[in-house]
Each structure stands twice: as C-alpha cells, then as structure tokens.
C-alpha cells in the first residue's frame, strides 16, 4: 500500500484503487466532492511535477471516465482539480514512490489509456447544491431546482424558483467566469435549445466569478450529467457485456531481481535521509517484496 499525507489532502493506493481525501482547507469544489475512489481501470497515467517548493502529483484519467472532468471540459484550475495534489518539499520521495506503484499496477493490469464509452466513476453524492452569481442550483437525483437571489433579472424571478425534472433535461453545460466574461450553468431542455442568454434564461444560473464557491456549480453539473437517462442507458448497455479477458502476462524479465534490489536500496536511502518514516519505509518495502 502506498500513501501520501499532505496538508492539501491524502492519497492512498492499495493496488486496485486510488482513494483521494481533500484537506480541510482545500478548494470548495474538492470539499464538495469529498472522498473519491478511482479504480485503476479509470486511469490513463500519473505523474509527479517537481518545483522548487515541492511539486504536484497529477492523476490522468481516461477520457469519459469521470463525470466531473466531463462537465468541466478542461476548465478546472489546478486548485479545484480533485486529481491534483500539492506535495511539500520533504515528501517528494514519497510522491515519486506513489507514482511508481500506480504505474506498476497499470502495467500489471494492462490498462489501456484510451477513452471509454461510459463513466467509470459515479457522480457526486446527492443531494448536491452549488452556484453563485444570481442564484443557487440544487439536485436531489430527480429534480434540479434553481432559486434566485435579489440580483437575478425579472425574467427569472417573475415565475419564482424553477423546478426541472431530470427527464426533461437533455444536457447541461458549465462555463466558469473568465476575466470580464461571465460564466453560466445551463440546463438544456429536451424540447429544444434556449436562445436567451444565461442572464435571462430561467434554466440557467449566471456566474460572475466573485468567489471560489461559484465553482461548485460544476459539481451540480457533474451530478446531473452522470444521471441523465442517456448516461444510465450507456451504463446498462455495457453492464451485461462480458468482461474483457486479460492478455497472458509476459514472462518476467531477466533483470527483474536487480530492479527489485535497486528499488529496495533507494527506499533504504530515503529512509536513512529521513524522507520516509519507519512506518512508510516498512509499508513500501513490503509492497515491493510482495511483487517478487
């Protein structure tokens, strides 16, 4: 088992699943998502990006595996990205070991790094709420509710809070505020697209970028996206399909023993240098020996 504990959060890996727990002062998006369990089959890769203060651990998920990343569409900043962990300078060795363990598992399981046709992670836990700007969005699994504040336009407030049954939603789009351009959280009805701008659309929140909490609108978007009827249909269609057979494992290379010895020596050096605690060293050593 590999584990790295930082102020930014804690990541653990048991050979099958990366578990991610955000730190107490993490970005509101990460706190709203809570603990995440990412199966190896959803991973395309992992990297450690060193810098002068330590670095960042970054998980790379397969395209289409995560509803949060699908909803964000590449627009999440590192601070809000649940798959990025800030690593302090005295734990860079542990981060590199964590990377090695995950990469080894990907090789052993022969996980492809290409996109998938359905979500491999569940949507955010329900109920969920988020937003800002001119209102708040909430979702309980059946209905999206939009409540307006005093800053909303009359085109929205005139009809009171909006209630959108999931069956009447064709899609959802989230765009954060960027610079002087406002963002939005828009729910697209099944009976056709809305031509009104988000400021006047009763199926949209307008986001002004005034606080980090506005980013939590993407959590609502992901929760809805993961539970749209077409998403459930895709999951149901693949649930009965036979599991792909693993290719037979190749024979171990002749120098596997030398690699194991080298890794044990490196662990010993990290332990003596104080980078690894006694417990971390013992856990890492057992993990390496168990693969012999």
CATH topology of domain 128-237: PH-domain like (2.30.29)
Class of domain 2-121: mainly beta
Query: What is the torsion angle, in degrees rounded to the nearest 10, for the CA atoms of residue 225, residue 42, residue 78 and residue 29?
Result: 40
Token pair belonging to 143: 């209905």
* Sequence ranges of the chain with CATH classification 2.30.29: 2-121, 128-237
* CB distance 7 to 88 below 8 Å: yes
d(Cα 94, Cα 87) in Å, to the nearest integer? 9
Strands 43-51 and 2-6: unpaired
**Tens-digit pLDDT string for the chain (292 aa):** 899 999 999 999 999 999 999 999 999 999 999 999 999 999 999 999 999 999 999 999 999 999 999 999 999 998 999 999 999 999 999 999 999 999 999 999 999 999 999 999 999 999 999 988 999 999 999 999 999 999 999 999 998 999 999 999 999 999 999 988 999 999 999 988 788 999 999 999 999 988 888 999 999 999 999 999 765 444 434 334 444 444 444 444 445 555 665 666 666 766 666 756 777 677 777 766 665 5
22: left (phi over 0), alpha (psi -120 to 50) or beta: beta
Neighbouring C-beta atoms of residue 287, cutoff 10 Å: 20
The overall pTM is greater than 0.75? yes
Residue 109 has, within 13 A of its CA and on its CB side, a CA count of: 20
């Amino acid at each position: 088992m590999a584990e790295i504990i930082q102020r930014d959060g804690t990541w653990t890996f048991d050979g099958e699943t990366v578990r991610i727990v955000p730190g107490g002062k993490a970005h509101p998006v990460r706190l709203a998502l809570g603990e995440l369990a990412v199966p190896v089959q959803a991973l395309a890769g992992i990297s450690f990006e060193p810098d002068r203060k330590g670095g960042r651990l970054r998980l790379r998920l397969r395209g289409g595996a995560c509803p949060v990343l699908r909803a964000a569409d590449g627009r999440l900043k590192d601070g809000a990205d649940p798959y990025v962990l800030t690593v302090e300078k005295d734990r860079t060795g542990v981060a590199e070991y964590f990377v090695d363990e995950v990469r080894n598992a990907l090789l052993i399981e022969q996980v492809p790094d290409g996109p998938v046709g359905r979500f491999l992670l569940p949507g955010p836990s329900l109920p969920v709420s988020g937003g800002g700007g001119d209102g708040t969005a909430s979702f309980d699994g059946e209905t999206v509710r939009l409540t307006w504040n005093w800053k909303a336009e009359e085109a929205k407030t005139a009809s009171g809070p909006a209630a959108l049954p999931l069956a009447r939603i064709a899609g959802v789009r989230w765009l954060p505020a960027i610079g002087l351009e406002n963002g939005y959280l828009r729910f697209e009805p099944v009976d056709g697209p809305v031509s009104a701008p988000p400021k006047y659309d009763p199926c949209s929140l307008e986001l002004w970028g005034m606080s980090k909490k506005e980013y939590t609108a993407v959590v609502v978007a992901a929760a809805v996206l993961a539970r749209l009827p077409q998403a459930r249909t895709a999951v149901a269609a693949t649930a009965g399909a036979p599991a792909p057979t693993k290719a037979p494992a190749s024979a171990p290379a002749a120098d596997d023993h030398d690699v194991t010895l080298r890794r044990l020596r490196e662990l010993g050096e990290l332990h003596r240098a104080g980078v690894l605690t006694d417990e971390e060293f013992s856990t890492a050593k057992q993990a390496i020996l168990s693969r012999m």
